[in-house]
Structure 1
């Protein structure tokens, strides 16, 4: 067993996992297979993370072939609903006997260094009965998602005068909230658009109030080509790399290509933008200010055509502006105009919180305004015995990325990989930070953004594990042009393992 930052001579045996969503479950699966003793903690009454419960009408943005466990095929169709995804996740947990290792209805309140001076962490948790318990672990893995920790509940002037309801999108749990009502939905992300569509079907009036327009990515480009055939292939990834720059660990050839081909690829993406603008009526107030690729890396969303059709049919109104204050029967915008409302839904996203760490630990982790930058999007460079899986990474196929991260971490803890020195990890972190900040828009989650560079990121992890990173065998055309799918990484998880 390899030792990490430890001079005590102890080995990692017992591991605490915070979160029982698709990341935490896959971490537990990979660690259990190597004989580690794992305990998962989740404040919810069931596994599944954000898929257990969310706003009415939520579901995946991508086709099934981009959202399934690599070695556990899903039976649902494309663009499945949240409840379908939850049932699938639960069946994965049952198959791998993870439920027996999971403490549900249990909130992790504090994570601190062990008081006895030994390596590892002490987790203070609140049990279902309200009691407080303390558990010690040699290692802790944080698996809380990027977009589901703390609702970003914005407050406005004179909210108390409003006679209707004000709620965050995460509280929009039934269509009955909108039935017969005038509904204003604040935001322009996926949750805001989904809720505006639901309100447009059952309400008296539905208005989407947005500050900035963002590009919608169609499920079928030009109504013909599934989006995964472009952005989930090596060729599509190459186009993005030639345009905006290659993942830092990629070779010199693709970086030189970026310098030479960027102007040409820029023109090609203008054509793409024209197609998307036609499909989603991106004009006037609904025309994004950023180019498509840059906007995608800040506010990625894949739309179905229903929203555009509902806007055209008058079922959903779109208004650009910001709320200044509330009145008894609506809101006044900063330009002085008024929107009548019975219900206001804030589709304003989530805040990334590290509430179970004290201020000193947050500083040691290196949390910045645009997120937490980690080595391989997994390890903090100067905090030993801790990892983050799924907590600081967002790709085109999160469920696949979390599977590979889990396997990488399990092999690291099992001594099959060598962990670099803190200074080496810090240098790599600085490279990825400089690259992202050079072109990605500022968001509070920029540190974890991978998106269309997901294949190159997976290549990086597979090379660390000395596993072939080209997953299409000898079919070189497929390797370049066919979309990558979770099943391409199946053997990464099914190879024989060496117990800890």
Structure 2
């Protein structure tokens, strides 16, 4: 088979993968279901969206965001940036727009023989490997409650601007980053809004002492969790103080057990009486919403800021093992037991992802090169140093270390192949060379040597 790969998705993550594959000379088709570059930034955010991570940690390392951009660029600026990145490196010329993938299946039990990809028009293609980078913020999650609400209901993904509201009485359900923004936008538009919270949330200010808070989650080696928690609790103490003073319940979960909310406007509007907090919904009755504390309210519109489900409708049942709604992957990337099938961007970092995405993409490209010389899935070898997990929340240092460690592992495997005379140095190890050239510590080398006997 021709060594040609398929990259699914031309958003923030998919473009990084395309750049990494281009840099290593890997041939690929780049498929995008919509008509535009940018993924969620092109079709899944509201007009007033701004980044919650600063530009210097959100941009790709080899294509910094423009100097004239503010610390926190708008959605429009992010779209322009992604289009500029694609044009700068010729990635846009290789994207097939309006091409929906409907089925992906391995050509053999393990995927070592390649993968078959079917698109919506019925065309069937065969590839050496597939990278799934279609994102996990598209299949909306809307909870169900007893009764019927007869007003307008809209998910935050489908909301664009205040004219989308029907009437002035707005209830936002959920206090993630989108929920906070939309409660503030409704209050700004109509003078007041209400927000229903099922639990407490940890609120992180965008700035701490004039520094974007995401910069406190940087570094290239793992930081002990107790230290990370201490840093972020200090940030929250400075930015919020007492939760009760805002009419909010203090979170009962660990600070890193759920997504952090980077928002300063919601507490501000709470203090000014522009937003009122409600508990979880109990039931509906026409335009009336009853809450679990026995109170009720009348509303014209409900905005569901209740997140998304992780789904891959084009993947056949049984290919992945799932746990609590997420697939179990090795290093957020490799499916156990399957070769030449990789996932990109299936993680929720606490800070900007530019460097992380690019190094993770280079890990994928280097893994694709090495897989060409192996008779066992790269991911299965990787399980010796990183066990499969369904957890998608992680800190920046932890994720950057995961990518670096993975690249060390792949390069060491390539060197072992060279030493055993199975491949020349120029075909794998010399090509696996990009921005970072870290040394290989002994702690990483020992498990690699233990793996050598499994390399064919």
Give the structure-2-normalised TM-score. 0.81
Task: Tell me the residue number matched to 2:270.
Answer: 311
Equivalent residue in structure 1 for 2:399, among 428, 443, 454: 454
Aligned ranges for residues 74-113 of structure 1 at < 5 Å? 74-75=65-66, 76-113=69-106
Q: Is the 8 A contact 1:281 1:308 kept in 2?
A: no
Aligned ranges for residues 289-328 of structure 1 at < 5 Å? 289-290=251-252, 294-303=254-263, 305-319=264-278, 321-328=279-286
Q: Which whole-Å CA distance do the structure 2 matches of 1:465 and 1:344 have between them?
A: 49
Pairwise CA distance, 1:374: 2.4
Task: Tell me the residue number matched to 2:119.
Answer: 125
- Structure 2, unaligned stretches of length 5 or more? 413-432, 438-456
Q: Which whole-Å CA distance do the structure 1 matches of 2:78 and 2:232 have between them?
A: 33
Cα separation, partners in 2 of 1:402 and 1:271, compared to 1, 3 Å = closer
Task: Tell me the residue number matched to 2:249.
Answer: 287
Q: Which whole-Å CA distance do the structure 2 matches of 1:100 and 1:296 have between them?
A: 40
1:219 matches 2:206: yes
Question: SS of the residue aligned with 2:199?
Answer: coil
Q: Is the 8 A contact 1:42 1:103 kept in 2?
A: yes
Cα separation, partners in 2 of 1:415 and 1:208, compared to 1, 3 Å = same
Cα separation, partners in 2 of 1:403 and 1:125, compared to 1, 3 Å = same
Aligned ranges for residues 256-267 of structure 1 at < 5 Å? none
1:53-98 alpha-carbon deviations (Å, 9 max, x no partner): 2134222101111110111111122111111101110111112222
In terms of fraction of residues, the more helix-rich structure is: 1
Give the structure-1-normalised TM-score. 0.74
Aligned ranges for residues 227-376 of structure 1 at < 5 Å? 227-233=213-219, 238=223, 240-243=224-227, 271-278=234-241, 281=243, 283=245, 286-290=248-252, 294-303=254-263, 305-319=264-278, 321-361=279-319, 365-369=320-324, 371-376=326-331
Pairwise CA distance, 1:175: 1.2
Aligned ranges for residues 140-151 of structure 1 at < 5 Å? 140-146=130-136, 148-151=137-140
Question: SS of the residue aligned with 1:78?
Answer: coil
Cα separation, partners in 2 of 1:302 and 1:42, compared to 1, 3 Å = same
Q: Is the 8 A contact 2:55 2:70 kept in 1?
A: yes
Q: Which whole-Å CA distance do the structure 2 matches of 1:271 and 1:174 have between them?
A: 35
Q: Which whole-Å CA distance do the structure 1 matches of 2:93 and 2:378 have between them?
A: 36
- Structure 1, unaligned stretches of length 5 or more? 1-9, 245-264, 434-444, 468-488, 494-500
Pairwise CA distance, 1:359: 1.5
Number of matched pairs = 411
The structure, 1 or 2, with the larger RCO (C-alpha pairs under 8 Å, 6+ apart) is 1
Question: SS of the residue aligned with 1:135?
Answer: strand
Cα separation, partners in 2 of 1:115 and 1:100, compared to 1, 3 Å = farther
Question: SS of the residue aligned with 1:299?
Answer: coil
1:55 matches 2:12: no
Q: Is the 8 A contact 1:396 1:452 kept in 2?
A: no
